[in-house]
Structure 1
């Protein structure tokens, strides 16, 4: 039987990855169409589909696109290599499923108490809340925690909730630009970066020193924090939180390189 081919539109529809994302993968050399038709149209072949699966899986496990490129540089396209990747993905998914089931069990306990017209104990609510939160305390130093909690106390609960809402909106819009393959220096992306900086400045004082500390925190704990953020905001599939943060960091760097317009 002859090998199947896919146009970029066909592959996008079949995989759930946008055409712009596939173009972006092609530009950076991650996944490129392996053949051309006699008329010159580019077509993806079966090996390209397997490579796309590797890319999406590794991204879903918390690797940046640069890290994915390094992993795939010498990766063989054979059953043994794919078996290792699938095993790692399955282990990751099973760990997530275990955490979800733990949360579900705690919620069932709350519902069972309410079904008996009995108010659950405060400890039950706290136990149910714990897995829903990103436990940044595990990653921050005592000084960093003191700075953040002190700032939160000064801002007040209402301001904190407003900032959280703004953060989630910006994060979601950046994610869509990432999935669409929007260049990081695009004006629409840079406008979101400016809003992000304003939000971060309101919540995280301390200037460049604090920002450097949080950057180091992210680099040291990227995979774990990315997974916790995904679970917190309910994201799955392409465009995980870790990828969005990497995209944001590249957009911020690109913005620093864009020259300011001068009045004539």
Structure 2
């Protein structure tokens, strides 16, 4: 039997990846169609589907597109290579499932207390909330946590909530630029980077050592932090939190190079 082919629209519908993202993958050489028709239309082959699966899985595990490209250069299209990736993905999903199960159990406890018309203790609500947030204590030093806590107290709860809203808006808009494949030196991206700097400076104004420390912290814990942020934001697929922050880092570096030039 002849090998099946997928048009870009068919592949987008079947995989849940947008046509725009598939165009971007093709443009950067990450997933390109194995064939083109006489009219120039893309046709994806079975090997291309397997490669797209690898890309999506690796991105979901916290790797940037640059890192995914490196992994794929060193991986063959064979059962052994796929087996290793599937095993890693299964382990990642099982770890997430365990965290979800723990949260569900805590919520059942709250519901059981409420069913008996007994108000749960504040500690129970806090315990249920804890898994829903990024556990900063796992990644920040005591001094870094103290700095952020002290600064938040100085700003006040109203200002902190305003900054959180600003951060989420910027993060979401940067994600769209990642999905669109916008160059990091685009004027619209530069404007978002400037606003990001202003938001970050509110927590550590002029504190270069602190900024350097948090940058190193991100680089050391990129995959774990990226997954936790994705879960908190409800994001999945391409354009994950880790990829967005990598994009932001490159955009900031591009801006610094231009200033130095």
* Greater alpha carbon shift after TM alignment, 233-242 vs 125-134: 233-242
* CA offset digits 1:37-59 (Å, max 9, x no partner): 23333322111111011011001
The runs of 5 or more residues in structure 2 that have no matched partner are: none
Preserved CA contact (<8 Å) 2:59 2:237: no
Query: Residue 155 of structure 1 aligns with which residue?
Result: 155
Contact map agreement 1:18 1:180 (CA 8 A) in 2: no
Corresponding residue SS for 1:261: helix
Write the distance in 1 (CA, Å) between the matches of 2:20 and 2:78: 28
Which residue number in structure 2 is paired with residue 64 of structure 1?
Answer: 64
1:261 paired with 2:258, answer yes
2:45 and 2:143 mapped to 1: Cα distance? 53
Q: 1:187 to 1:7 in 2, by over 3 A?
A: farther
Q: Distance in 2 between matches of 1:45 and 1:262?
A: 46
How far apart, in 2, do the equivalents of 1:113 and 1:123 lie?
Answer: 13
Q: TM-score, normalised by structure 2?
A: 0.92
The 1:195/1:242 distance shift into structure 2, 3 A limit, reads: same
- 1:8-34 alpha-carbon deviations (Å, 9 max, x no partner): 333223222223322222222211111
What's the offset of the Cα at 1:261?
11
Q: How many pairs align?
A: 261
Residues 1:198 and 2:198 aligned together: yes
Matched residues in 2 for 1:212 and 1:3: separation? 52
Alpha-carbon distance, 1:201 to partner = 0.9
> 1:243, 1:118 → 2: CA distance?
44
**Cα distance, 1:20–1:186 mapped onto 2, change above 3 Å:** farther
| Contact 2:17–2:237, Cα closer than 8 Å, also in 1 | no
**How much does 1:184 deviate?**
2.3
| CA distance 1:251–1:10, change in 2 (3 Å) | farther
Which consecutive residues of structure 1, in runs of 5 or more, have no partner in the other structure?
none
C-alpha deviations, 1:176-203, integer Å up to 9, x for none?
A: 2222323322332222222111111112
Q: CA deviation at 1:84?
A: 1.3
C-alpha distance 98-262 of structure 1, shift in aligned 2 (>3 A): closer
Q: Is the 8 A contact 1:8 1:19 kept in 2?
A: yes
Alpha-carbon separation, structure 2, partners of 1:142 and 1:151: 14
Q: What is the rounded CA distance, in whole Å, between the counterparts of 2:222 and 2:177 in structure 1?
A: 21
Q: Distance in 1 between the 2:52 and 2:260 partners?
A: 47
Q: Which deviates further from its counterpart, 140-149 or 222-231?
A: 140-149
Residues 67 and 79 of structure 1: CA distance in aligned 2, closer, same or farther (over 3 Å): same
State how far apart, in whole Å, the 1-side matches of 2:137 and 2:258 are.
42
Distance 1:261 1:53, change over 3 A: closer
Structure 2 CA distance for partners of 1:240 and 1:206, relative to 1, 3 Å: same
Supply the distance in 2 between the matched residues of 1:128 and 1:66 (Cα, whole angstroms).
36
Give the Cα–Cα distance (whole angstroms) in 2 for the partners of residues 240 and 14 of structure 1: 20
Which residues in structure 2 correspond to 1:116-131 (within 5 Å)? 116-131=116-131
> In 1, distance between residues paired with 2:152 and 2:13?
44
Tell me what 1:52 maps to: 52
Q: Is the 8 A contact 1:19 1:180 kept in 2?
A: no
Q: Which segments of structure 1 move beyond 6 Å, counting only runs of 4 or more?
A: 260-264
SS of residue paired to 1:39: coil
189-198 or 150-159, which moves further after superposition?
189-198
